[in-house]
Amino acid sequence: METRADGAWRDVATVALTPDGSTADIAGAASDRRIWRYLIQYRWQYISGFFALVTATVLALIPPLVVKYAVDDIEQTVRGSGDVTRSTLLSYGAIIVATAIVESVLRYYSRRIVSGSARHIEYHLREDLAWHLLSLDQGFYVQARTGDLMSRLTNDLQAVRDFIGPSVVDISRSLVVLIAGFAFMLAIDVRLTLISFAYLPVVILSMAYFETNIEKRFFEVQEQLAELTERSQENVSGIRAIKAYAQEDAEIATFARENAEMRRRAMRLGQYQAGLLPTMMALTAGGTLLLLWFGGRDVVSGRISIGDFVQLSLVMSILATQLMSVGWVVASAQMGVVAIRRINEVLRTPAAIADPAHPEPLGRADGRVEFRDVTVRFGQTPVLTGINLAIEAGATVAIVGATGQGKTTLANLVPRLVDPNEGAVLLDGRDIRSISLADLRRQVGFVPQESFLFSESLRENISYGRSDADDDAYHHALVTSQLSNDLEQLG
């Protein structure tokens, strides 16, 4: 584990590969705890945001109390037993306005500081994913789908950010409002409060039903979105081949099928999302109906005052609003949980090729390479078997063979793009698995069969891997690669 300059943690590897080929897990389930580590890192921001939210919630319950006193004063004045003045009513109004202003400021502060912390955590997670993906070996990318990885780096990270940001604020607010509001109602009248919340078990069961299905459907949508992203990426990167073989219609048909499946899954998710809020509204309306029926009878009988009934109704309205939003917020949280699970699937993937636990220092290599009893298998299929070959420093060796005989695999062994299943590759008599990857690969010049240009200038592509390259080194590379004549022709 290393600490970055900004104070965040970073797992630099999940598996250490020892010289004898064994693996030592140095991360384990750390990725599962990664979110918690970042939440702890920003704990004071979350704590201060929570306290601001609690204060704002308590303030939100003051206006119903003020209205109660105002209604009772007005009622007594109407009956002739009181004398409410205009200044008294203005005072009540001023208290409500002042409370609303302070409450709004506190809510703004709470959401701003928590959402800002969520942005920071999103940044750290994106960087962790980038570090981890760059540490994984070629074998991972043979199996992984580019579109799926891109979806996890974008859509899933956004879902996590929404979960630990706005959703945290909304869930906290809803819980505090429900607890504080329930306590306020109990203080006014225990009997009416219990009657008003008689429908709560039905709300909980309904919410559990919707949340379970939303989580399942959201996972299906994210999986299909990865498929669609993969298809789009392949169409863009392979556009020359598609046009050369006149496969536009076939690719459009394939994309249409993937897109239709995406629509089908999204519609199924939307059905549950659309049904959640109306269900909550209908159920909470039942509580209001109970309060109106039994509370109205208590007012008529003189058991409670009109002010008490109005206060109960206002607090009940606030709680009903929160109950309706709880369903939607929990649905968002379920999406965040699914996204965290998908991100952790990547972060838990071990690096088959990684730095040794204790790398040996490597100076300037002489360049003698030896393959000693090397065997490489892809799955159960042997590609190279029992290879013994020594190449002296400065020698030029051509490996000749038919397609699929292992020439590229043999070359990939030198910079450790592939590791042998048996045997060892030695550089100047040292097992290359005892050397750090950075030190080893700085000593190896490697030209792959497939060329790739980054979206940068030609100079930056030529100087890739040599950030310290000056003009002389750049022009030397141009001449060596025989690009100088082409550049002159291009002007």
What CATH number is given to the structural domain containing 385? 3.40.50.300
Establish if 353 belongs to a structural domain.
no
DSSP at 5: T
The residues, ordered by sequence, that sit 6+ positions from 152 with a Cβ below 8 Å of its Cβ are 129, 226, 342, 343, 346
How many other CB atoms are there within 10 angstroms of residue 214's CB atom?
25
Residues 465, 447, single domain; the answer is no
Residues 286, 300, single domain; the answer is yes
Residues 373, 404, single domain; the answer is yes
Establish if 287 belongs to a structural domain.
yes
pLDDT tens, per residue, the chain with 491 residues: 333 434 333 333 333 333 333 333 334 344 457 788 888 899 999 999 989 988 988 888 888 888 888 888 888 887 777 677 788 889 989 999 999 999 999 999 998 999 899 999 999 989 888 888 888 877 787 777 777 788 888 888 888 888 888 888 888 888 888 888 888 888 888 888 888 888 778 888 888 888 788 888 888 888 888 888 888 878 887 888 888 778 888 888 888 898 999 999 999 988 888 888 788 878 878 888 888 888 888 888 888 888 888 888 888 888 877 777 776 777 777 788 888 888 888 888 887 788 888 888 877 888 889 999 999 888 778 888 988 999 898 888 888 888 878 888 888 888 888 888 899 999 888 888 888 888 888 888 777 777 777 777 777 777 777 777 787 887 877 777 777 777 666 55
Establish if 12 belongs to a structural domain.
no
pTM over 0.95: no
| Domain that residue 371 falls in | 359-452
Bridge-partner residues for 435, per DSSP? 360
Q: Smallest Cα–Cα separation from 262: which of 270, 274, 251?
A: 270
Q: Which residue has tokens 């008294």?
A: 88
Q: Supply angle C-alpha 407, 409, 412, rounded to 5.
A: 115
Residues 283, 271, single domain; the answer is yes
Last residue of a domain, one of 296, 322, 347: 347
Residues 337, 422, single domain; the answer is no
Residues 378, 437, single domain; the answer is yes
Establish if 447 belongs to a structural domain.
yes
Q: What backbone phi and psi angles, to 5 degrees, belong to 433?
A: -75, -10
Residues 142, 252, single domain; the answer is yes
Residues 434, 468, single domain; the answer is no
Number of domains in the chain: 3
Residues 251, 157, single domain; the answer is yes
Q: Which residue has tokens 């109704």?
A: 313
The residues, ordered by sequence, that sit 6+ positions from 204 with a Cβ below 8 Å of its Cβ are none
Residues 436, 314, single domain; the answer is no
Establish if 320 belongs to a structural domain.
yes
Burial class (CB in 10 A: 0-12, 13-18, 19+), 100: middle
Establish if 8 belongs to a structural domain.
no
Q: Look at residue 488 in the predicted model and tell me its pLDDT.
A: 65
Q: Smallest Cα–Cα separation from 172: which of 45, 329, 337?
A: 329
**Length of the chain measured in residues:** 491
CATH of the domain at 48: 1.20.1560.10
Establish if 133 belongs to a structural domain.
yes
Residues 417, 458, single domain; the answer is no
Establish if 306 belongs to a structural domain.
yes
Last residue of a domain, one of 319, 347, 375: 347
Q: Look at residue 489 in the predicted model and tell me its pLDDT.
A: 63
In single-letter form, the type of residue at position 339 comes to: A
Residues 66, 195, single domain; the answer is yes
Q: Look at residue 316 in the predicted model and tell me its pLDDT.
A: 84
Q: Are 286 and 199 in contact (CB under 8 A)?
A: yes
Q: Are 17 and 25 in contact (CB under 8 A)?
A: no
